[in-house]
Amino acid sequence: MTIDYAKVGLKVGLEIHQQLNVGSKLFCSCPPELFKEDPEITFLRRLRPTQSELGQIDPAAYFEFQKGVKILYEANRKSSCLVEMDEEPPHPINLDAVQVVLTASLMMNMQPVDEVHVMRKTVIDGSNTTGFQRTCIIALDGWIKVGEKIIPMQASSLEEDAARKTGTQDEGKTIRYRIDRLGIPLIEVATAPVIYSPMEAQEVAFAIGRILRDTGKVMRGLGTIRQDLNVSLPNGALIEIKGVQELELISTVVDYEVQRQLGLIAIKEDLAKCGVNHESLKSDFVDVTDIFKETKSKVIRKAVDKKQKVLAVKLQGFAGLTGRELMPNFRLGSELSDRAKFWGRVGGIFHTDEVLANYSITAEEVEALRKAVGAAETDAVVFVADTAENTQDALKAVVERAQEACTGIPAETRTAKDDGTTRYMRPRPGAARMYPETDIPPQMITDELVHKVMSNLPEPAEKKLARLVKQYGLNEKLGKQLIDSEYGSLFEVTVKESGVAASTVAAFLTETTKALKREGIQLDNVSDEQIKSIFKAVGSGELAKEAIADVFSWLSKNEGKTVQDAIGALGLKMFTEADLAPVIDRVIAANKAQVDKLGKNAFGMLMGAAMKEVRGKANPELVGKLLRERLK
Amino acid sequence: MSQIENSGYKGEALRQLKLADCDIGDIIRVTSKSKVYEGILIPRAELGEGTIVIVKMKSGYNVGINVTKEVKVEKIGKGTKPAFASPSIPKQNPALPHVVIMSTGGTIASRVDYRTGAVRSAISASDLYGVVPELADVARVDTEIVYSIYSENLTQKNWTELAQKVAERIEQGVDGIVIAHGTDTMAYTSAALSFALQNLPVPVIVVGAQRSSDRPSSDAATNLIGAVKAAGEAPFAEVCLVMHESVSDIATVVHRGTKVRKCHTSRRDTFKSINGFPIAKVKNLQVTMETDQYQRRDPKKKLVLKPNFSEKVALVKFYPGLDPAVIDFYVEKGFKGILLEGSGLGHVSKFCFDSIKNAVAKGVLVALASQCIWGRVNMNVYDTGRDLLSFGVVPLDDMFPETGLVKLMWVLGQTSDVEEAKKLLKTNIAGEFSSRTLPQDKIVEGAQ
């Protein structure tokens, strides 16, 4: 589908979040590290919606509270202390983090505020042990240039990252969160909604990412950067899409969202044509458990065996529509399903627009089902198997979503998947409910500090490119790649410390890492220090440059090991003089006749023979030197 | 009425705000050298630069703006008063017990004005039901604000008054009393009330919160529900303190008022029973007794009120090099009692001996508890202890210093006769002494 984005009136705003690497968290001294092991500490909490004098209560949060949702937090003592557990007040704000945000803000021509006030933004889904996220504005109103266009920047803020969800239990009534990530400093940068095409959104995100990387203080790797997109169409809705992890995915996400909104607008029109409206869709749920008593469907069987229920509802006039594709592998039925999962804590739903035989549901069962809910040919039926309470909540959510389909596109918060599609996350929260974090004193941003940061701003990308090309003799293309690479900041220091040729280092940090990523190598498992060590080993002759990628790959699969371990395990140890002597003796002996005949002129032939034996394990210069000595 | 005078602003900021007729909550515009800020004027609670004005922007964020002479401040809109409709009181179930919640100033219930960030306490019954709706299923609740002060500012006079007010309510025939209290000195108040309110017919429960109740993660609701449940229904009738059992929102525990101490600056489970164990637990709205050694609830019992405390009692913590002049000072100032917080089994240095002997000779009641907190003093083991005993120092066995201090204040509030006071000090009034010291944890070590 080709879409004329200008014609449909697409508007996109970006919010880029990236973790800062300043050695510790934002409000305590814990290291910004995640853990993979079983937790040493778990504790159970409930978060209550607090009363506001504005009288607003977050609907999703209130619903979860009423349902008795509990949160099980997981921690270990290496990555979190009492502050993350909400058992100790926060420490004063990490000034290094403030300075990094200030640096990025000034690079984006923003105006720093005179005094920073940390706020509490109410978030009671459990992702923050406190029930709020601490956040503060550092600077406002700037701009960056992307191509020929000036993109206005609204604000830059500094905030604490949230805990990460690790699962649910007790039929969804207990949500598990790991608090290792909680408190890692995040920079948030927001553009004005002045981006008009998917590709432009991606280019702006790249430009911002480059600036953030230029501070030299941002984290790298999966989960360290998250892009939120605000996508709106004049006839659609403003949709907030959270957590796009890959920059390259942004254009796809925007494109799919436009497709989804256009598809939903078409569905609305089709429903109107058929006379289906809000009132046509009733919450008349029918217990159809008996129909599935003997079912072969595994999912339903499991529920029936547990004495749970199968509940069904008719969606009048929805036959064919629930199955209509809105994005690749995503139908209106998926929208209904997402709502059911969120509000009803169920694993999913079934609807009559899908091939139910795939779930071993028979035609007879479907027939009985249709009869039970009184569905006509033009109606769809949605059914779900779970506890009585969950099925009720799930179908209630399904009917609500179907009703919304009659009136347009619901404004909501969605989450981005790896394939670029998005799923329902939660209703859009009301106006941000923020109040001051009184435990943290305000922080002045003095003119002296601004001047200090201003006079130490990193080199802008264009200048840096020109310098890299000139100073290191790189070609323009490689230079550009280096500037866009996540590893770009490693280039100069690695060249300097290892003495390896600049082009070798640059090629590895750009093309090779990209290729390795495509092959499925987990780049994040190898630290900057390890990368530098690899090159130092090359520089000192311990490792052949041809083996760099192999060592890197091995390290990514063997966390906690050293470059020396890799060299040993891969049998890449370079030959020393002593190791080479017998090889050269052997080569000379094997070619004795030629050596006698040609004398010194046998060098070329002998060199070829020797290198054949030791390629990748010996420095050719060393082999040549030894050979020459022997031929004397 | 203008709030600007008491809003924390001063200097150039205050001058400019007044000049522009701005009040807290008004929408203002501040135009500085390069920027224009618009938003709601927020009070300045912090001590800091006198030139900063705080504005809450449309995004909800507060920012501080430096107001120099070149900066222009304008009022562009009048503030609107936040409207808050208190939820109506749910129908009271006559079958539920009647509990009175008395508040002394801890913000056990509060709500936030998101407009200005102000936190207001919410202590009327309807507010409480609004903040903790589950209470409606636990008890019929009445509320009374006794004080609105930080707990560190409470004195012996407040204990006396509080005990009297509790007694009045009990005379009226309620099923239990809950006292909402700041956690800092909550254990002192618990001990004081334990001595002042004897032969209780119903429970008196002191409760607080370690995370203020304006936060979603506050422990206040769990603690309050536990306290009201225990006050209304538990089979005991003692002064107790109810707080979180652990860092989780799973259960609250009921500590005896004389055996409980704040042991952590910030954790939810900061209160621990010292040289004893919680007497009950409240979990899933069920009260479970953990011992059968307790005073029974019995509405027929006649409360004995003994609310007086001496203010002439001092705590002297021993440390290496303590100058005995400290002890002399209290004696000269006319103090009637000194609680020595001794080291180990109950010792102070020999350099203090003369001062202690002098104090006793002047009619000062000198008692000793151990700064170890855990365990029992035994002053027969070493010479120093035996010497102190011979001077007339009264060992307080397994009472930890804070309860010992409160008891000494209470004893000297009851009598001025030193011998009588000594006798009373050694009499077990409210479970402050126990004859057995048990290991605090179950120990299973070395077994195969």
**A600 or B286, which is more confident?**
B286
Pairing relationship of beta strands A380-386 and A309-315 according to DSSP bridges = antiparallel
Tell me B347's DSSP state: B
| Class (C level, CATH) for A275-407 | alpha beta
Per-residue pLDDT band for B115 (boundaries 50, 70, 90) equals: low
Give the three-state DSSP class for A65.
helix
Fold of the domain spanning B98-305:
Rossmann fold (3.40.50)
Per-residue pLDDT band for A136 (boundaries 50, 70, 90) equals: very high
A603 interfaces chain B, CB cutoff of 8 Å: no
At A626, give phi and psi (nearest 5°): -65, -40
B211 interfaces chain A, CB cutoff of 8 Å: yes
pTM for the predicted model, two decimal places: 0.86
* A110-149 residues touching B, CB cutoff 8 A: 111, 113-117, 119-122, 124, 129-132, 135-137, 140-141
Catalytic position from the list B184, B249, B269, B387:
B184
CB contact under 8 A, A115 and B248: no
A476 interfaces chain B, CB cutoff of 8 Å: no
Q: Which residue bears the tokens 């020797």?
A: A610
Residue B113 pLDDT: 64
| Segment holding B423, helix H or strand E | helix B418-426
The answer to whether residue B118 scores a pLDDT higher than 70 is no
Residue type at position A248 = E
Residue B85 pLDDT: 60
* All structural domains of chain B with their residue ranges: 4-77, 98-305, 313-426
* Contacts with B209 from chain A: Cβ below 8 Å: none
B222 interfaces chain A, CB cutoff of 8 Å: yes
CB contact under 8 A, B216 and A48: yes
- Clarify whether B262 is annotated catalytic: yes
pLDDT in tens, A19-32: 999 999 999 999 99
Residue B330 pLDDT: 98
Q: Helices A603-614 and A620-631 meet at what angle, rounded to 10?
A: 140
The answer to whether residue A517 scores a pLDDT higher than 90 is no
- Clarify whether B184 is annotated catalytic: yes
Closest CA to A3 of A162, A197, A242, A240: A197
Residue B232 pLDDT: 97
Q: Helices A332-344 and A250-273 meet at what angle, rounded to 10?
A: 100
| Class (C level, CATH) for B4-77 | mainly beta
CB B355 within 8 A of CB B324: yes
The answer to whether residue B367 scores a pLDDT higher than 90 is yes
Fold of the domain spanning A577-631:
Arc Repressor Mutant, subunit A (1.10.10)
- Clarify whether B155 is annotated catalytic: no
Give dist(CA B278, CA B260) in Å, integer.
Answer: 9
The answer to whether residue A56 scores a pLDDT higher than 60 is no
Cβ neighbours of B446 (radius 10 Å): 5
User: What percent helix, strand, coil does chain A show, rounded to 5?
Assistant: 45, 20, 35
Residues 6 or more apart from B262 whose CB is under 8 A from it? B183, B184, B186, B187, B270, B271
Per-residue pLDDT band for A3 (boundaries 50, 70, 90) equals: confident
* B73-112 residues touching A, CB cutoff 8 A: 82-85, 111-112
Residue type at position A546 = E
* All structural domains of chain A with their residue ranges: 5-232, 275-407, 461-569, 577-631
| Closest B-chain CA to A123 | B216
Q: What is the mean pLDDT of chain A?
A: 89
Q: What would the CATH number be for the domain defined by B313-426?
A: 3.40.50.40
**Structural tokens at position A617:** 């394990």
The answer to whether residue B3 scores a pLDDT higher than 60 is yes
Residue A1 pLDDT: 58
| Closest B-chain CA to A52 | B112
Chain-centre distance of CA B433, in angstroms? 22
pLDDT in tens, A272-309: 998 888 888 888 999 999 999 999 999 899 999 999 99
Give the three-state DSSP class for A44.
strand
The answer to whether residue B333 scores a pLDDT higher than 60 is yes
pLDDT in tens, A397-453: 999 999 999 988 998 899 999 999 999 988 876 655 788 898 898 999 999 999 999
- Clarify whether B397 is annotated catalytic: no
Q: What is the mean pLDDT of chain B?
A: 91
The answer to whether residue B43 scores a pLDDT higher than 60 is yes
The answer to whether residue B374 scores a pLDDT higher than 70 is yes
Residue A559 pLDDT: 84
Identical topology for domains B4-77 and B98-305? no
The answer to whether residue A57 scores a pLDDT higher than 70 is no
